[in-house]
Structure formats: C-alpha cells, structure tokens
C-alpha cells in the first residue's frame, strides 16, 4: 500500500509491515485479503513482514514464500468465531518496528495488535495506513439486539484510532461514508479488496441474448441453474426487481436436483444483514 502523493524512498521498493488481528487458520475475508496483499506486494519486489495472532498462546516466527510472518501468542475473542486477540506489549512492538524498519505500516484491525503496532510505528515516525473492515456487528454476540450505545462506543474507538493514522481506506463507499459520518478527519479513500470494477461492471443489455432465450423486456433479471452433465443444460427464470424470487433446481448430480427456496433464503439472509448497512439500502 503506497499512500497517494507519497514518494518512494527506495526507488520502486519499500519495506511494508502488514498487521492484522484476523489470520489463518481463521476463515474469512480479512485473513484472505491480508494474506493475498502481503504475498502480492512481495511478488512485486517489496520486503514484507506480517504481524498476526497465533492460533494459541505460544508465538513463533516463520516465513511463507517471500513474506516473514510473526505469530504473536493470543487469546480467543468470545463473540466472533475463530477471532483471536494477539498479545503485543509496547516493548515487543518497539522491537518489531526497530528490527524490520518499515517504510510504512499497513494495519487492518484496531484491536490489540493493531493498536500497539500503530503506537510503535508512530513513535518512530513511520507512516501508518489503516484499512477498516469492521462494523459494530463484529464486536457483539450474533444473537444480541442492536444497541445505539454500543454502536456509539464502537465508532468512537474505531474513528479515534483512524484519526491517529496517516491515511485510511475502506473497501466500499458505504463503509468509508460511515467512518466519515462518525468523525473521520484524516485523508482517506476507497480501495476495493481485489475486485476489478473496470472488468466486473454491468454493461448495456444484449438484445440478441434476450431474443435468443425469449426473455421478456419487463423482467430484466434472471435466475439460472446449471446441470453440468455430458450435455450441459441451463435453466433460466426471468424476474423483475420486487418480484418474489422463484424456486430453482439445485443439481446434486446429473438429472437429480432439489428445489432451492431462493425467496426464503434471501429473506433469512436479509434479516441477519448488518443493520448499519441494511438501514442505508
């Protein structure tokens, strides 16, 4: 991550420290993004060191490809499955920063590892980029009702942490907008987590395809199921925004399927969608 407008002191290569409180073996978006980011930067010639939580209390240091990985001993976070709280005392943070001497620290969580790494980097005047992946739903039990008090405490901490960094990013306009609404002041921008919007963006409707499959003009959306037998078969159901979603066949093997209740599945998923985003849609 090179901050907009920043000069490169090493003429094309940098020493980058990536810090995250979510990492393998935890499965999720943040572990994937941080791992792929670190390895992608290393493949481009940068020197990359990661600071991540260990799966248990014992820490260790290893290498993964061209990336140095420091696992810090950790405790389980009780309200978010597989998340760990890494232990990084101030002295250990200073030692990590001093020994690696990063040009920039890229922090992906405002929790224990992220907080101490930011303090250590700032004391050595190392620029800190923070990417926010979090919503209030990430810090409370999944069955707990939404609390305005908890939401306020959450944003006070996250935005306070963000305003002590050099630059802040978020993966979507909505996510960054929430931070700005709650007081984000430092320079910031939207950086998608690996989606090439120039390639994966809707284009104009293709009338030839519509005519070929006899799709009605007043139902521009489609649900599709695939039977990938010796002769692949596609089942298509057109619908419009606001329609009840149709049931579609979910093929278990060639010629054998179970009906997939798309509408019921959608309604259940929507009911558990993070309230902070759901209220904006």
Lowest mean pLDDT among 12-26, 99-113, 116-130, 182-196: 182-196
In the prediction, which pLDDT does 195 show? 61
| 13-47 pLDDT per residue, tens | 899 999 999 998 888 889 999 999 999 999 999 99
| 132 exposure class (CB count in 10 Å sphere: 0-12, 13-18, 19+) | buried
In the prediction, which pLDDT does 209 show? 81
Residue 3 has pLDDT above 50, yes or no: no
| 91-107 pLDDT per residue, tens | 999 999 999 999 999 99
The answer to whether residues 72 and 57 touch, using CB atoms and an 8 Å cutoff, is: no
Listing DSSP states for 246-281 in one string gives PPEEEEEETTEEEEE-HHHHHHHHHHTS-HHHHTT-
In the prediction, which pLDDT does 86 show? 92
pLDDT, the chain, mean: 86
| pLDDT tier, 170 (very low <50, low <70, confident <90, very high otherwise) | very high
- Tell me the mean pLDDT in the region 168-182: 92
Q: What own/partner pairs with CB < 8 Å and gap ≥ 24 does 254-260 have?
A: 254/227, 254/228, 254/229, 254/230, 255/227, 255/229, 257/225, 257/227, 260/225
Residue 1 has pLDDT above 50, yes or no: no
User: 């999720």: which residue's tokens?
Assistant: 28
| 138-161 pLDDT per residue, tens | 776 666 677 788 889 999 999 999
Residues 6+ positions from 265 with CB-CB distance below 8 Å: none
Please name every residue paired with 226 in a beta bridge, in sequence order, or none if there are none: 234
| 214-267 pLDDT per residue, tens | 888 888 888 989 888 888 888 889 999 889 999 999 988 888 889 999 999 988
**What is the pTM assigned to this prediction?**
0.71
| 45-54 pLDDT per residue, tens | 999 999 999 9
In the prediction, which pLDDT does 29 show? 85
**CA atoms of 117 and 51, how far apart (whole Å):** 9
- Tell me the mean pLDDT in the region 209-218: 84
> What ranges do the domains of the chain cover?
15-190, 207-271
Instruction: Read off the tokens for 21.
Output: 């409180």
- C-alpha 67: how far from its chain's center? 20
Instruction: Read off the tokens for 45.
Output: 């010639």
- The share of the chain scoring above pLDDT 70, in percent, equals 88
Domain topology for 15-190: Rossmann fold (3.40.50)
């Amino acid at each position: 991550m090179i901050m907009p407008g920043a000069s490169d002191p090493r003429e094309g290569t940098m020493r980058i420290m990536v810090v995250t409180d979510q990492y393998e073996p935890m499965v999720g978006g943040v572990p994937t993004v941080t791992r792929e980011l670190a390895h992608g930067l290393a493949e481009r010639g940068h020197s990359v060191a990661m600071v991540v939580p260990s799966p248990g209390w014992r820490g260790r240091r290893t290498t993964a490809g061209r990336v140095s990985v420091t696992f810090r001993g950790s405790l389980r976070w009780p309200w978010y499955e597989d998340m760990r709280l890494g232990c990084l005392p101030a002295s250990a943070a200073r030692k990590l920063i001093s020994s690696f001497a990063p040009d920039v620290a890229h922090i992906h969580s405002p929790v224990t590892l992220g907080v101490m790494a930011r303090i250590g980097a700032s004391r050595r005047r190392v620029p800190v980029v923070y990417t926010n992946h979090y919503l209030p739903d990430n810090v409370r039990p999944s069955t707990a009702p939404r609390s305005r008090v908890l939401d306020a405490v959450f944003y006070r901490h996250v935005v306070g942490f963000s305003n002590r960094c050099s630059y802040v990013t978020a993966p979507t306009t909505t996510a960054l907008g929430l931070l700005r609404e709650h007081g984000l002041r430092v320079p910031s921008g939207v950086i998608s987590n690996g989606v090439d919007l120039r390639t994966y963006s809707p284009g104009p409707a293709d009338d030839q395809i519509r005519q070929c499959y006899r799709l009605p003009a007043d139902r521009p959306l489609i649900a599709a199921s695939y039977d990938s037998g010796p002769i692949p078969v596609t089942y298509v159901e057109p619908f419009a925004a606001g329609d009840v979603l149709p049931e579609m066949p979910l093929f278990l093997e060639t010629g054998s399927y179970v009906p997939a209740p798309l509408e019921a599945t959608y309604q259940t998923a929507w009911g558990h969608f993070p309230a902070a985003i759901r209220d904006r849609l």
